[in-house]
Amino acid sequence: MNRPAGPITRRKLIKGLAAAGACAGLELWRWPAIAWSAGPVEPAILSGNHFELEVGPLAADIGGKTSTGVAVNGSIPGPLLKWREGDTVTIAVTNHLRETTSIHWHGIRLPSDMDGVPGLSFAGIAPGTTFTYRFPVRQSGTYWYHSHSHFQEQIGLHGPLIVEPRGRDPIECDRDYVIFLSDWPDQDPDTIASNLKQQSDYYNYHQQTLGGLVDEARAHGLGAAVANRLRWGWMNMSPTDISDVSGATYTYLVNGQPPALNWTALFAPGERVRLRFINGSSMTYFDVRIPNLPMTVVQSDGNDVEPVTVDEFRIAVAETYDVIVQPRNFSAYTIFAQAEDRSGYARATLAPRAGMTAAVPPMDPRPRRTMADMGMANMSGSSMPGMKMGDGSAPSAPMKMEDHAGMSGMSGMSGQPAEQPALTPSNPVRLHLGPEVASIAAHPVSRLNEAGDGLDGNGRRVLTYADLRARVRGTDPRPPSREIELHLTGNMQRFIWGFNGKKFSEAEPIRMRLGERVRIVLINDTMMEHPIHLHGLWSELENGDGEFRPYKHTINVKPGERLSYLVSADTPGHWAYHCHLLYHMEMGMFRTVIVE
């Protein structure tokens, strides 16, 4: 990595406390000190309509190992920014690095030249220069910001962003806290990328074993167990490949603090506490719960949803969820966010008094992929779910669909809520197995009512996308005029990722006409989840709620899943469209969307 220049001059960090809004309590946006080797720094709380941010290097000490991160105003994560709906904000960003930097305002609707993607919507912020963002704020909710320059986001250039509504907030609470989740590497991000390119399971320490084969044979029979192993081996894949990068190199953080430091939020018994969860990690899905304390989900990706009470939810990379909790007892509670692959966890505490702690629960069993995750589940079922194909023998030829023209007419068979008549895809997709397409889902299905691998059937009430219903009707009632079909493709062995079998360097832009209404259909042909983020435009998830479909900026697509969402192309410009797993994006899962 091109290492940053020397430390920046420390500025006055605390510029003001947030107004209470709908929430009472003096510690509304309190962030405790973070133990950095450069000295304890409490991230600033910045509010108003003019902001000055300085990007520079910082020596960060996480778990006793010091490395150089990229800080905003001297802290990692960066300061909490508070805006108000209806204001016009200006943000002057000064770059003290030796390389170009940028800040993207994730989920914020704005002019494309203010979106912060170097080489696409602006030139980037050169070393030693200042760039001033200026745009009106037309929304409210919980969002975040991060760099869109190489791997700077991975090493600290990110932070929370809260937009207060212009009027009364319908979500009432007594206290309000941000829970910013992230993954901190103990290796240089370029080294991580190189390791993945040379050996895609480099960070997977949970490979299949002979003992596991014996257990499978006992549960399902020797023939089925052996056939299962042969299929995975034939595909050069492993059912234990859950996360590309794991706790083997990551430390999982809450508001910049590792589990041992135990970040704590305070409450008084009976108070309504709002927790704003932001997954600001680069590669990690988190499964979040607070043992013995139900959570009521009230907002998703900055947009209010009908309240739904759950015990647990999975938050994909770049998503945000706001929940209300109401502790009744004078007891401490653990906020527990385990990585999807169970290689580690982030942890914080909700307590009535500083210094109190609660037990940290053991991590759940490690999930395993099945053939259903490859879109190869037998539609009639089998004794080994997702495993039966044909006569149960291992495939003798590649399972492919050479004339694959999309699955647009399969919504009835898959259980996908069919809100609009299926349209003929505007770009019929023909995929062929090759270096950039290792597999093609033969039977992609709707999985909106599934929580995800490792969560379904765990005995807890877990949030699904089918639970999300907007509190107000959508603003555009028109049906789509055309359909854009995109397959999420890749080759794990080569660590190549793309859309429709093409990396960014090989693909043409996706074009939309200003003012048109389109349906985007995503079909995941890989065995990995992909959080897909469309800049500049809302994604209205078709989950069966009609005009009350939830508005999102990041949509998680499970392995073997087919889903769709509507987009109103209401803002012109060049927009980024990509998987928000940072190393997937860097390795090709990125497109340009042009609204013209």
Distance CA 115, CA 271 (A): 38
Model pLDDT, residue 381: 37
For residue 157, pLDDT beyond 60: yes
Q: Looking at residues 137-163, what average pLDDT do you find?
A: 98
Model pLDDT, residue 228: 63
Distance CA 160, CA 322 (A): 13
| Angle, alpha carbons 505-509-515 (nearest 5°) | 160
For residue 24, pLDDT beyond 90: no
Distance CA 229, CA 250 (A): 29
Q: Phi/psi zone of residue 457: left (φ > 0), alpha (ψ -120 to 50 degrees), beta?
A: left
Q: Looking at residues 152-172, what average pLDDT do you find?
A: 97
Model pLDDT, residue 405: 32
Model pLDDT, residue 2: 35
Distance CA 584, CA 323 (A): 29
Model pLDDT, residue 423: 84
Q: Which stretch of 318-322, 371-375, 412-416 has the lowest confidence by average pLDDT?
A: 412-416
For residue 377, pLDDT beyond 70: no
For residue 499, pLDDT beyond 70: yes
Model pLDDT, residue 235: 56
Q: Looking at residues 433-452, what average pLDDT do you find?
A: 93
User: Tell me, what amino acid is at 276?
Assistant: R
Give alpha helix (H) positions in 162-269: 189-198, 210-220, 222-234
Q: Which stretch of 92-96, 221-225, 342-346, 525-529 has the lowest confidence by average pLDDT?
A: 221-225
Q: Compute, in degrees rounded to 10, the torsion defined by CA atoms 46, 151, 560, 456.
A: -50
Q: Are 157 and 147 in contact (CB under 8 A)?
A: yes
pTM of the model: 0.86
Q: Are 473 and 310 in contact (CB under 8 A)?
A: no
Highest mean pLDDT among 9-18, 58-67, 563-572: 563-572
Distance CA 535, CA 459 (A): 36
For residue 416, pLDDT beyond 70: no
Averaged confidence pLDDT in the chain: 85
Model pLDDT, residue 64: 74
Distance CA 492, CA 495 (A): 5
Q: Looking at residues 542-571, what average pLDDT do you find?
A: 97
Give the 3-state DSSP-derived string for 28-61, with helices as H, strands as E and coil as C: CCCCCCECCCCCCECCCEEECCEEEEEEEEEEEE
Start-to-end CA span in the chain (Å):
37
What letters, b where the CB count within 10 A reaches 16 and e where it falls short, cover 112-138?
A: bebbbbbebbbebbeeeeebebebebe
Distance CA 329, CA 356 (A): 13
Distance CA 110, CA 536 (A): 7
The residue among 447, 450, 446 whose CA lies nearest residue 462 is 450
User: Tell me, what amino acid is at 260?
Assistant: A
Model pLDDT, residue 375: 75
Please report, for residues 139, 209, 211, the alpha-carbon distance to residue 220 in angstroms, rounded to integers and kept in the order given. 52, 16, 14
The residue among 483, 482, 501, 481 whose CA lies nearest residue 491 is 501
Q: Which residues pair with 273 in a beta bridge?
A: 175, 325
For residue 20, pLDDT beyond 90: no
Q: Which residues pair with 122 in a beta bridge?
A: 118
Model pLDDT, residue 225: 60
